């Protein structure tokens, strides 16, 4: 691993010059710009853990391509143990950053493309996997951060890629030549894009024959010509941008992963970086695999966040003198219960992982989708319970400037105090942390990251093997199956 | 009514000079200051409706004290019809402002104090009601805005008022003299305080004999000597303070009601403005009545907000081309269902209203508490559904500066478009509205305004007449009641 | 009222001879047959209350047709007060019987047909209302029990009435002659049918022109030639049929209302008993009105049942020595909370009642549908909580025969005892009551009575005025309405 | 394995003569008695699968004591793979029987006692494990069915074992002599007791020093002198007892496991069958381990049941012609989602299994408790959704006698038909299956089996490591830990 720790990662970002806009201005230095720095720090934690004795076993892996030690975030899962270690790593990172550390998007993209490339090659005699391995070995050896780019703008959603009035609503190939191809379009909601090294572009949905030019997988450096990023707004971003010490909630890390629009205006991709080129029949596969991996992760990173939130709330009730009330204990129990329910599915879909023909391991699709679906419910309920226990003061607290003010600072300190032994500032800091973790962007991300709730429901029904279940019921009451005509005895022993 | 419309109300605020701090600075002009102006405009809508033909019937009432037409927000409810009209008025105001218009706090305080003053006088021969009526007639005639001030800081919540290490954690009398009394302490979370004319101070909880000095009800102008207000922070307040046109979500109105801490540093109150002075046995009464009235209101104003939110989401799905998807219709149906469930309780507790000995009408306590309890659940679920349907873009949208930027404006417009016929800016505006109405402060307020969830549960159990229910069950299976020894036939016809 | 109390009602049933089958046998005497007697007793309670001083005000009304005192169950609602009194009456009856007392089906049919008959006549010059009044006056004067017959079998539900392979799946006219018409078909799930005097037949759904012969409203005595009833099974019916004293749960009343299939095999109806004859354009109206009235009632009778269930559980925790545990109080609070939430909607849709052109009052459709929709959720949750608090013994209790057995009676008494002072038999009786009220039929009835959940959702969306809500949202952010082209200022004060 | 299949198991039951009462009568032959036969058949399926090629790998294991092939239901788990195979076996058995097959109670008892015996011996130098191994080898070799007997009556639950007015409310030692000890008391809710070979008695709760005589673990044959069993009632037991073909729902299997009270009236236990004798400090351990194993299982067997129920409902909607309605698909998706959420926790707590000092593997306690807690919620919701989709007819269907009746059979067939191609009888059979699986006992068992909901919540809070979570929150906002005084930088990279 070339980049050995957080500091080296940050240095590496200074060597590249992606075009990034935020609030109408170019962002020249993502490592120092207040809007991007907290997200850089969160991603840096993924590098830091690999250098840390306690977490090295989770944070690194042995490359099946080179035998070298690599960051787990660049690894192709080689077994169930890999899948489970990844889950544990993500939870630890969630606990340590209280936010999104962004790097699993690229990891999931790598794993999805790897296995699909193998299957495309096997069917069509292409050499995508070889190209991909070469690219991947560099990523592993240099320990680069990759953003997995899947979500297209989609324009009018009642129409598919090939039927949009504006074809650019889905990334597509506008030219092909002997050196490579040229793409146009955009990807939205790109977590970690502004502080990644590479973009791995994938189709956003299963496509039919008519959408050949939209079926493209390729990799490109973030600062390739023609790429423009626009960094999005988040709840409380102004507090972050003004480097507020307390009111921002998390002084060092972001609300969630920093998201950007990535626009591709006729970006050239050389053939050795192209891993799908018109194979529409494999678009569904890559989307489902990426999505399944990514959905599995949410029961890990978000439970890390919920651990923090539960701890914050528990501490606040100590400060307020209410920690022994039975309803407080009841609600904290519920927060833990929901959190661990989510974690269950992440572990379970990993324990039930299976080997694809390429050797790469996939999580169980059903359980991964179940995991994410529950995130879209339970994260809200956990946040609701946290707000309940935190009390109304997180919505009415004066600013940290007032806390330090000569005129009213003493009043804020006096009237926002709790039990005698704990300084008011601690209560306020914890209150602001809870505010930051329960409002707005933090929850929207849980809802829509890795696919909106309806996307999971479609998969759950599809994977539900309803026919098989109908047979079970018919067997129990002695209804014969139509085809055979024979009447089975119900549940014969 | 001296103040006849919104403009006159705003003018009136310029005549008074309360001491208000916000982000470390004095706020000199609440009508123009960007932090307070949106809240002033929302409160002004309560004045505007009284001047508007369509809504006058809801927005005004006839004073039972003077026979004159007054704002309903200064009225003592004289019957069930008054209670129901108030509910309808609040829903309309919620629909028109999409936020808290602040004035019901004072209204509920007026109604609680009125009936309790009558009962104190009847028991003890005091003359609180006469004093109160005089004060109230001026409020009605001048159409003043009153903030009902109930919530004390409470310090260490494992201890009551009389046991706090710092007695100032509950407002209390520090001196009494022939002209009046002097109070010290603070009230937190005071909605509308900075743009009200008067403060009506009430005790925050039921108290025992030892807390005599904490049992005080009185009224005081907002700019009385010794009063300092500190205006609190809210989600997205920086966007508001910078007068952003789109990103603020609601361009003219606030996130919720603007809340302030009101600090009383030895504030003098003349006797004619004192309506309780040590009658601890009536503290529970005034708290419960205020709380019941206030909880009843939440099923009205918040359903107005939910109407807006449902409309916003419905419109957004039209823009995105998804309005006909069955899961979209299903979720919108659920939003309406939850909203109307809440409204049911507001209407029901009013329809079941009852006459206090003073003649003032109270809502049904059980149903009012049920109403608020459901708010603390359903508002979150409605917000969750709105976030689901809105899509992830509300968490990653570039700023309005980017939208107007020469460099990237065209990209934002292109890639955040929806169906062809509707301008991207409309999609963004609606997205920002949803963002503003579903995140952070907006929901905390629903959780804790009018009392935290546990407060309602205590009342629900207390009002549940469990003994009576046990009797019903025993009668059905033929278990005799202990006292009589006689064995009733089960459910004899 | 000819029938003045329960005993007279029971006598009256002996004067008629409907054809009823149950478990393959004719039921000759519904008053004594163990399968029907409990349901007769529950219906009798509606007669008994009218004769009881305490409840007379709720249980009777003054006929607007004759000015005579009548049972409220035969009354056409003349105002909001009538609607609210009905709700209170139903809750009391639920509390006293712990089951369905069946008579509101006919009441709701009477009210729906009355107002629609008026509107048909007004449009078409028919004389349905006069015919109906004559029939109704007899019902009122004799105080007869009427079963409102709406639900047809429907056969293949992917097809409408006119497209069924077997036309009899919907009741329809097979012949018309100068004396009257002849109908064929069946009605399912007919609550109270076997112990009613009259059947009021209505169409089951909104119909189009092609279904003219299915658009029929008429009344017929239960023992008219060609009518056959088949009484359905219920959970625990064998215990009821064997007249078990304890294990049946409710010794005198049924699980829910006794339901029957009513088959019409070419039943003749004279013209004076025909109140709709082919007016398909009014079928939707009568269905919606009947459904709205009926859905409103569920928040009354079922809350009566929940009162009993809450009391039963509370008593059981006393017996078991757990009544003071905080989680027990928490769950009982929740049971009460859910119960009163349901009641809210029943009261609210009545308080918001409106006058139809006929003078008859309708409940608010939205709130009535909201009420029933919540029943299909909260009754289950209340039952779940009851099962939680009751403990596992309600699923493993030995039979009442064992309790009395010489061999093992002493063991059952010893090992199912609770706190010392209360006899084991009481614990068992209450356990059996909870078992009977939480399992199977009792809950299915809450789900599907008055229409399945999806039926309510369709109405909720239809009544939700989504266009109006979209306007509210657009106004708040300053999006102009298309038609006018004018741009409204957002929320101008 | 001596008993090689279902038939041999049934034969073996005829060789023993436990004293069993049901409805006041002795049950002489559990294999043929209609009340017990269905439960025998379900347990027999556990024997049958071991003899079946397809399932042998799941249904058998290799004894770590003898190296011989044994039933997995007698196996001490030797690794994570064993734990996961067990989960999969239980789901298959749930799918094939649609009910409780009873044998995991003994399995969990064996595993709990095994590891605790080891730890007791290690601490105190006793030889419990050797005794236990000898007993267990016989169980394994003969493939006997063991009932794990934990739940005592508990009498007045506000008092512990040593404080009960009647000491027999908890099983306890009443005499000790050179040959063994003598116990008295009872165990309630004993699943599978009447058709087991052996009883493994364990303490029901953690006990203190004062309860020495209650701290006893021992094994005893079901037909030992002094043992009396009383078989409990279930919903629909009369239909089962009368051997109804259709109305019983599941023609060959029971509603849930057949539960019995086991009364011990001075039963003698020789020392070689005693595995705990007064070691109160290990009572908590054996209870928690048994409970954790048992709670883990519920996400397996119950999901098997839910598979059946989902299939039944899906088939019914096909029969009714509604299977393509979007709300139908939505609800079936939800049923699957909830089912797989439960399964997740069973898999996860197994995948996270850990080795006890004895070598026996334990599931993860937190995730096992989370699993069971969700069962007490989701099984109800799944049942509710099933009732919703099934339609009201499952509550009003005439009996199977009516279906065959000469008088009304043709009417039942005609009016309960669905789409043309499917016989009415099939619709009715499936309806009755749904009725049986959603009502009463079936759900109570899910609520209270393996411990009531509150028992899980206590464990969840206890295992939640709240202190650790508080530290995470404090670290993120830079609050120093008290002890060290040093101030950690928040989340330093």
- Tell me: the pLDDT tens digits for B9-50? 999 999 999 999 999 999 999 999 999 999 999 999 999 999
Query: Is A75 an annotated catalytic residue?
Result: no
Q: What is the pLDDT of residue D439?
A: 86
Query: Is D301 an annotated catalytic residue?
Result: yes
* Mean pLDDT to the nearest integer, D76-103: 98
Confidence of residue B378 (pLDDT cuts 50, 70, 90): very high
Q: What is the pLDDT of residue B134?
A: 98
Angle at the Cα of C302 (from C297 to C305), degrees rounded to 5?
A: 145
Contact B490, B478 (CB under 8 A): yes
Tokens describing residue D287: 């209870």
Enclosing H/E stretch for B61: strand B60-62
Angle at the Cα of C27 (from C26 to C31), degrees rounded to 5?
A: 170
Tell the residue number behind the tokens 């956990």, with chain if given.
A382
Q: What is the pLDDT of residue A482?
A: 72
Task: Note the residue count of chain D.
Answer: 493
Contact C264, C186 (CB under 8 A): yes
Give the whole-number percent of chain C exceeding pLDDT 70.
98
Which residues, listed in sequence order, are joined to residue B421 by a DSSP beta bridge? none
User: Cβ–Cβ contacts within 10 Å for residue D346, how many?
Assistant: 33
Q: Within an 8 Å CB–CB cutoff, is residue C392 touching chain D?
A: yes
Nearest-neighbour CA in chain A from B98: distance (Å): 17
pLDDT at A216 over 90: yes
Interface test with D, best of A248, A472, A489 (most D CBs within 10 A): A472
Q: Is C447 in Cβ contact with D384 (below 8 Å)?
A: yes
3-state helix, strand, coil in chain B (%, to 5): 55, 15, 35
Which residues, listed in sequence order, are joined to residue A21 by a DSSP beta bridge? A26, A230
Contact D1, D141 (CB under 8 A): yes
Strands D227-231 and D20-22: parallel
* Mean pLDDT to the nearest integer, B242-251: 96
Nearest-neighbour CA in chain B from D328: distance (Å): 11
- Report ipTM for this prediction: 0.96
User: Cβ–Cβ contacts within 10 Å for residue A278, how many?
Assistant: 18
State chain A's maximal CA–CA distance in angstroms.
89
For residues A291 and A462, what is the distance between their CA atoms, to the nearest angstrom? 15
pLDDT at D475 over 50: yes
Q: What is the pLDDT of residue A312?
A: 98
Query: Is B114 an annotated catalytic residue?
Result: no
For residues B87 and B301, what is the distance between their CA atoms, to the nearest angstrom? 8
Q: What is the pLDDT of residue A222?
A: 98
Q: Is C387 in Cβ contact with D231 (below 8 Å)?
A: no
pLDDT at A101 over 80: yes
Task: Note the residue count of chain C.
Answer: 493
Contact D227, D263 (CB under 8 A): yes
The conformation of residue A151, written as its DSSP 8-state character, comes to -
Q: What is the pLDDT of residue C277?
A: 98
Q: List pLDDT tens digits, range B130-185.
A: 999 999 999 999 999 999 999 999 999 999 999 999 999 999 999 999 999 999 99
> What end-to-end distance do the CA atoms of chain C give, in Å?
59
The conformation of residue B78, written as its DSSP 8-state character, comes to -
Helix (H, G, I), strand (E, B) or coil at D180: strand
User: Cβ–Cβ contacts within 10 Å for residue D265, how many?
Assistant: 15
Give the whole-number percent of chain B exceeding pLDDT 70.
98
Q: What is the pLDDT of residue A483?
A: 60
Helix (H, G, I), strand (E, B) or coil at D28: coil
Confidence of residue A439 (pLDDT cuts 50, 70, 90): confident
The backbone torsions φ and ψ at residue B200, rounded to the nearest 5 degrees and listed phi first, read: -110, 105
Q: Is B396 in Cβ contact with A260 (below 8 Å)?
A: yes
- List CB contacts of C123: < 8 A, sequence separation 6 or more: none
pLDDT at A434 over 70: yes
Alpha helices in D231-275 (DSSP H): 237-241
More confident of the two residues A423 and B439? A423
Tell the residue number behind the tokens 């570039």, with chain if given.
B398
Tokens describing residue D446: 């899910």
Q: What is the pLDDT of residue B481?
A: 83
Decide: residue B14, CB within 10 A, 0-12 exposed, 13-18 middle, 19+ buried.
exposed
Tokens describing residue B435: 């963002």
Confidence of residue C483 (pLDDT cuts 50, 70, 90): low
Nearest-neighbour CA in chain C from B63: distance (Å): 24
Q: Is C235 in Cβ contact with D435 (below 8 Å)?
A: yes
Confidence of residue C166 (pLDDT cuts 50, 70, 90): very high
Q: What's the distance, CA B247 to chain centroid?
A: 26
Q: List pLDDT tens digits, range A383-418.
A: 999 999 999 999 999 999 999 999 999 999 999 999
Alpha helices in B125-196 (DSSP H): 128-142
* Mean pLDDT to the nearest integer, C400-414: 97
Closest CA to A448 of A346, A379, A349, A383: A379
> Within the 297-326 window of chain B, which residues sit less than 8 Å (CB to CB) from chain D?
326
Q: What Å distances lie between residue C439 and B255, D118, D439, CA to CA?
A: 46, 44, 5
Confidence of residue B439 (pLDDT cuts 50, 70, 90): confident
User: Cβ–Cβ contacts within 10 Å for residue D241, how many?
Assistant: 16
Closest CA to A388 of B446, B301, B258: B446
* Mean pLDDT to the nearest integer, A84-107: 98
pLDDT at D490 over 60: no
For residues D167 and C252, what is the distance between their CA atoms, to the nearest angstrom? 37
Confidence of residue C217 (pLDDT cuts 50, 70, 90): very high
Which residues, listed in sequence order, are joined to residue A187 by a DSSP beta bridge? A262
Considering only alpha carbons, which residue of chain D is nearest residue B325? D326
Can you list the pairs that D319-325 forms with residues at least 24 positions away whose Cβ atoms lie under 8 Å? D319/D418, D319/D419, D319/D422, D319/D426, D319/D427, D319/D430, D320/C156, D320/C157, D320/D391, D320/D418, D320/D419, D320/D427, D321/C155, D321/C156, D321/C157, D321/C158, D321/C159, D321/D418, D321/D419, D322/C157, D322/C158, D324/C158, D325/C454
Considering only alpha carbons, which residue of chain A is nearest residue D338? A370
Point out the catalytic residue in the list A170, A288, A298, A343.
A298
Decide: residue C212, CB within 10 A, 0-12 exposed, 13-18 middle, 19+ buried.
middle
- List CB contacts of A72: < 8 A, sequence separation 6 or more: A50, A58, A59, A60, A61, A82, A85, A86, A89, A107
Chain B / chain C CB contacts < 8 angstroms: 232
Provide the total of helices (H) and of strands (E) in chain C, helices listed first.
16, 14
Closest CA to C242 of C34, C26, C27: C34
For residues A304 and A310, what is the distance between their CA atoms, to the nearest angstrom? 10
Closest CA to C267 of C204, C332, C185: C185
Q: What Å distances lie between residue D401 and B133, C231, D395, D436, CA to CA?
A: 76, 12, 16, 18
Confidence of residue A1 (pLDDT cuts 50, 70, 90): confident
Inter-axis angle of helices C365-390 and C453-462, to 10 degrees? 140
Tokens describing residue D358: 């004895």
Tokens describing residue B19: 């001491």
Confidence of residue A124 (pLDDT cuts 50, 70, 90): very high
Q: Within an 8 Å CB–CB cutoff, is residue D112 touching chain A?
A: no
Q: Is D6 in Cβ contact with A457 (below 8 Å)?
A: no
Q: What is the pLDDT of residue A145?
A: 98
For residues B285 and B116, what is the distance between their CA atoms, to the nearest angstrom? 7
For residues D240 and D252, what is the distance between their CA atoms, to the nearest angstrom? 9
The conformation of residue B333, written as its DSSP 8-state character, comes to H
Contact B83, B111 (CB under 8 A): no
Closest CA to A190 of A227, A159, A143: A227
Q: List pLDDT tens digits, range A131-171.
A: 999 999 999 999 999 999 999 999 999 999 999 999 999 99
* Mean pLDDT to the nearest integer, C54-82: 98
For residues D477 and B240, what is the distance between their CA atoms, to the nearest angstrom? 26
Contact A283, A203 (CB under 8 A): yes
pLDDT at A218 over 90: yes
* Mean pLDDT to the nearest integer, D307-321: 97
Which residues, listed in sequence order, are joined to residue C148 by a DSSP beta bridge? C200
Q: List pLDDT tens digits, range A325-372.
A: 999 999 999 999 999 999 999 999 999 999 999 999 999 999 999 999
Tokens describing residue C69: 């005192």
**DSSP sequence for C88-114:** HHHHHHHHHHSS---THHHHHHHHHHH
Nearest-neighbour CA in chain C from A326: distance (Å): 7
Give the whole-number percent of chain B exceeding pLDDT 90.
96
Point out the catalytic residue in the list A99, A104, A283, A317.
A104
* Mean pLDDT to the nearest integer, D435-456: 94
Average pLDDT, chain A: 96
* Mean pLDDT to the nearest integer, C467-485: 86
* Mean pLDDT to the nearest integer, D302-320: 97
Decide: residue B243, CB within 10 A, 0-12 exposed, 13-18 middle, 19+ buried.
exposed
Tokens describing residue B321: 């081309």
* Mean pLDDT to the nearest integer, B343-368: 98
Confidence of residue A38 (pLDDT cuts 50, 70, 90): very high
Q: Within an 8 Å CB–CB cutoff, is residue D421 touching chain B?
A: no
Confidence of residue B483 (pLDDT cuts 50, 70, 90): low
Q: Within an 8 Å CB–CB cutoff, is residue B327 touching chain D?
A: yes
For residues C272 and C198, what is the distance between their CA atoms, to the nearest angstrom? 14
């Amino acid at each position: 691993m070339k980049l050995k720790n957080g500091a080296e990662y940050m240095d590496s970002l200074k060597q590249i010059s992606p075009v990034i806009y935020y609030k109408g201005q170019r962002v020249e230095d993502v490592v120092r710009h207040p809007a991007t720095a907290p997200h850089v720090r969160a991603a840096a934690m993924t590098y830091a853990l690999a250098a840390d004795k306690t977490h090295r076993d989770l944070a690194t892996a042995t490359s099946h391509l080179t035998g070298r030690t690599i960051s787990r975030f660049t690894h192709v899962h080689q077994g169930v143990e890999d899948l489970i270690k990844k889950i544990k790593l993500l939870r630890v990172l969630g606990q340590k950053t209280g936010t999104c550390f962004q790097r699993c998007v690229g990891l999931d993209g790598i794993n999805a493309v790897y296995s699909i490339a193998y299957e495309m090659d096997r069917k069509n005699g292409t050499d995508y996997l070889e190209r991909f391995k070469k690219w991947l070995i560099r990523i592993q050896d240099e320990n680069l951060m990759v953003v997995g780019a899947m979500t297209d703008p989609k324009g009018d959603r009642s129409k598919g890629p090939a039927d949009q009035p504006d074809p650019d609503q889905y990334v597509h190939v506008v030219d092909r030549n002997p050196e490579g191809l040229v793409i146009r379009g955009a990807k939205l909601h790109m977590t970690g894009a502004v502080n990644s090294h590479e973009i791995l572009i994938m189709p956003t949905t299963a496509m039919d024959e008519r959408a050949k030019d939209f079926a493209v997988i390729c990799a490109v450096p973030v600062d390739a010509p023609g790429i423009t990023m626009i960094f999005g707004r988040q709840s409380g971003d102004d507090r972050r941008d003004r480097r507020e010490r307390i009111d921002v909630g998390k002084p060092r890390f972001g609300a969630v992963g920093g998201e950007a629009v990535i626009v591709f205006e006729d970006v050239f991709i050389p053939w050795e970086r192209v891993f799908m080129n018109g194979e529409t029949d494999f678009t569904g596969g890559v989307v489902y695999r990426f999505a399944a991996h990514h959905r599995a992760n949410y029961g890990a990173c978000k439970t890390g966040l919920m651990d923090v939130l539960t701890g914050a709330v528990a501490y606040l009730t100590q400060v307020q003198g209410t920690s022994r009330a039975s309803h407080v204990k009841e609600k904290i129990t519920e927060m833990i219960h929901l959190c661990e329910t989510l974690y269950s599915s992440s572990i379970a879909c990993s324990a039930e992982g299976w080997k694809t023909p390429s050797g790469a391991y996939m999580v169980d699709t059903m359980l991964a989708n179940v995991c994410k679906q529950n995130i879209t419910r339970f994260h809200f309920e956990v946040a609701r319970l946290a707000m309940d226990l935190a009390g109304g003061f997180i919505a009415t607290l004066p600013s940290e400037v007032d806390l330090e003010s000569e005129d009213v600072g003493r009043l804020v300190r006096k009237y926002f105090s709790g039990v005698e032994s704990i300084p008011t500032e601690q209560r306020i800091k914890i209150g602001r942390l809870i505010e930051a973790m329960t409002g707005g962007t933090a929850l929207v991300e849980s809802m829509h990251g890795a696919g909106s709730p309806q996307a999971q429901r479609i998969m759950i029904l599809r994977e539900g093997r309803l026919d098989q279940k109908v047979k079970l019921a018919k067997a129990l009451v002695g209804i014969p199956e139509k085809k055979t005509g024979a009447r089975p005895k119900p549940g014969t022993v």
